[in-house]
A = this chain, B = another copy of it.
Amino acid sequence: MRVVKTIGEMKTLSQSLRTEGRTISFVPTMGWLHRGHTALIERAREVSDVVVVSIFVNPAQFGPGEDYESYPRDIERDLRICREEGVDVVFVPSVEEMYPQGFSTYVTVEGLSERLCGVSRPGHFRGVTTVVAKLFNTVMPHKALFGLKDYQQQLIVKKMVRELNMDVEIITVETVRDEDGLALSSRNNYLSPAEREVARLIPESLKRAKELVEEGVSESARIIEEMKKVMDRKPGIVVDYINVCHPQTLEDVERVEDEALVALAVWVGRARLIDNLLIKKQQGGS
């Protein structure tokens, strides 16, 4: 496994891999790898000759007062996991390498970036699209893999790729969950055992939303209210947002027709956790 630290070296490597006719797949991460990441890596191995993983805690996607400083980091552990997973190249640039002094170029996807997490995290998705554009231009992958846990992120990245005419196929992979349903996230690391116990109500609430729709409930307000009731079973969850929205535009829908995305962000202690579920209304339902 090759560990690459500079943009120049990564470009040269990717260029020569491409010249050899090898297909490159790319898994961008912020490290502290878990089974959500390894699911992406495994899929990447299936669809290409060479797997490149980047590990970079991207300051541009953190707002003031957010957890950039405390975000969990353990590069040795991450490299071991990558090695075990058969990753070919790990790209670990420094902040100075990615954002040299005077850096001021940004990629924004207007509209989608302002919804859901964009409300309480203004500038977050601008940071994401900017670093992803930079990473794509550096790694030059044929395919890039993103998890559906970050549903809004993959939607925005797909729109960026399409609208800037980038030559990367975006492949999405289902959210990986713990046994009790909690979506894997590096930020779960912030949870105390007691908080971890409370956090299981997050996937419970999504399950409840799905059941309600299956039972014929379609009003978004009612679904959200019932989800909140589930979260209120134990103290400790502070809701940032729960939205029932259109899966492509992320605009709120008043009722679930055909398919809707139920997306949420909540605080448990100092962890801001997100999760979502695509809900399909069954044909013949009320």
Contact = CB atoms under 8 A, between A and B. Distances in A.
Interface in A79-119: 100, 103-112
Interface stretch (A163-171, A216-224, A257-265): A163-171
B7 A133 contact: no
Contacts of A105: 107-110, 129, 159-160, 163-164
B104 A163 contact: yes
A134 interface: yes
Contacts of A109: 104-105
Given A134-B165, A137-B165, A165-B134, A159 B104 contact: yes
Contact of A104 (B15, B110, B167): B110
B107 A164 contact: yes
B159 A137 contact: no
Q: Size range of the interface on A?
A: 20 to 34
A138 interface: yes
Contact of A11 (B7, B112, B129, B167): B167
Interface string A140-176: 1000000000000000000110011111000000000
Contacts of A15: 167
A97 to B, nearest CB: 10
Nearest to A100: B163
A145 to B, nearest CB: 20
A133 B167 contact: no
A162 to B, nearest CB: 8
A18 to B, nearest CB: 9
A130 B105 CA distance: 11
A172 to B, nearest CB: 19
Counting chain B CB atoms within 10 Å of each CB, the highest count among A11, A107, A129 belongs to: A107
Contacts of A163: 100, 103-105, 134
A141 to B, nearest CB: 13
Nearest to A135: B165
Interface in A1-35: 7, 11, 15
Nearest to A163: B105
Closest 10 pairs between A and B when the two form their complex, measured CB to CB: A105-B163, A104-B110, A137-B165, A104-B111, A138-B165, A105-B109, A134-B165, A105-B160, A137-B166, A106-B108
Given A105-B164, A137-B166, 6 more contacts: A11-B165, A100-B163, A103-B163, A104-B159, A105-B163, A140-B167
